[in-house]
Amino acid sequence: MTLAVRYVSARCLETAPAIGVPPGPGEVELAPAFVGICGTDLHIFHGDMDARVDAPAVLGHEMSGRVVRVGPGVEGWQPGDAVTVMPLRWDDACPACRAGHQHICQHLDFIGIDSPGAMQQRWTVPAATLVRLPDSLPLDRAALVEPTAVAVHDVGRAAVREGEKAVVVGGGPVGILIALVARAAGAEVRVVELNPHRRLLAEELGLTAWDPAAGDVSEAVRQWTGDAGADVAFEVSGAAAGVDAAVEVLGVRGRLCLVAIHPRPREVNLHRFFWRELTLIGARLYDRADFERAVTLVADGTVPAERLISKVVPLTEAPAAFTALEGGGDVMKILVDCTDNTQGAHA
């Protein structure tokens, strides 16, 4: 018998015994080592996704771990291999898949939301979702590969080029990762963030961070760019004010990449889009190339994942960690340690 963290109802999580599912054809059984808690997990915790999540539901999709067993027909993987999981299962039949956009399949199974996730001591997934990790990469840092893949996809969708000026509105974990990936692509980056702890972390990582409460961000961008405006802005805050700021900082033919999930419609200054010929770009999830690039960025230190990890808690304390994340404050990323030493999982 192993343990799993399950969402039961709004603001109610439980750590309870779970029965492992043996790997079937084309599947592998994993021993998750570390699982990150992300904003989507918090939305589930608040009950905002009850129409989609079938409770009781095991959460978690930002993970690292090792292979325990392989099912029939699985080749190229063996027990002990260090892996992360690209948690997407698509149908290969819908119009999106037929057009080559499987990651936004119209019937997508996002593993950890639509089906059981990684916050458990044993987890069975399709072998096709595995992404290999280098042995030199510590598994706690590797748990940040998935959100880094989000950032890689966002920067790619925005087509960030060397020498461009980019503004990231929202300095949470994904915002900081986008800033780091954009900088690695050669862009000059500014992060806009209200929280002083997050601004400090950005500065410690060599980024320039602005407090929107301390002055007019659009004026700061005007001075920074010589009145040209930014080439690209990323809206990562999820707030109406963030949308306004991201639109206002853009120069002629600038690109706005929408990253945050906005649960309700927002007013947008469409006249600005008309006047400056702006482009709005949606960015959702990632593909395998994004994941593999993310592994490289975390492994070589371009993304200093260890600096984003605020705390690591045991599986039994995961429910309390969700509550701690609600307040934001000085917390960036909390990892749940799922290691089951009693059954030989080696992290």
17 contacts 3 by C-beta, under 8 angstroms: yes
User: Scanning the structure block, which residue is given the tokens 């000085």?
Assistant: 330
HSE-up of residue 232 (Cα within 13 Å, Cβ side): 29
From the candidates 2, 15, 40, 225, which is the catalytic residue? 40
3-class DSSP state of 119: coil
Q: Is the dihedral of CA 128, 134, 140, 142 positive or negative?
A: negative
40 contacts 320 by C-beta, under 8 angstroms: no
| CA dist., res. 291 & res. 148, Å (int) | 8
| CA dist., res. 64 & res. 131, Å (int) | 10
| CA dist., res. 152 & res. 171, Å (int) | 16
HSE-up of residue 138 (Cα within 13 Å, Cβ side): 7
The beta strands (E) that lie in the chain are given as: 2-9, 12-18, 27-36, 57-58, 62-70, 82-85, 88-89, 109-110, 123-126, 130-132, 165-169, 188-192, 208-210, 230-235, 250-258, 279-282, 309-314, 333-337
DSSP bridge partners of 124: 29
Determine how many CB atoms are found less than 10 A away from the CB of residue 91: 13
- The tokens for 7 are 């969402």
- Among this protein's residues, is 148 annotated catalytic? no
From the candidates 2, 43, 103, 339, which is the catalytic residue? 43
HSE-up of residue 248 (Cα within 13 Å, Cβ side): 16
| CA dist., res. 195 & res. 128, Å (int) | 39
User: Scanning the structure block, which residue is given the tokens 């990936």?
Assistant: 181
- Among this protein's residues, is 40 annotated catalytic? yes
3-class DSSP state of 17: strand
Catalytic site positions: 40, 43
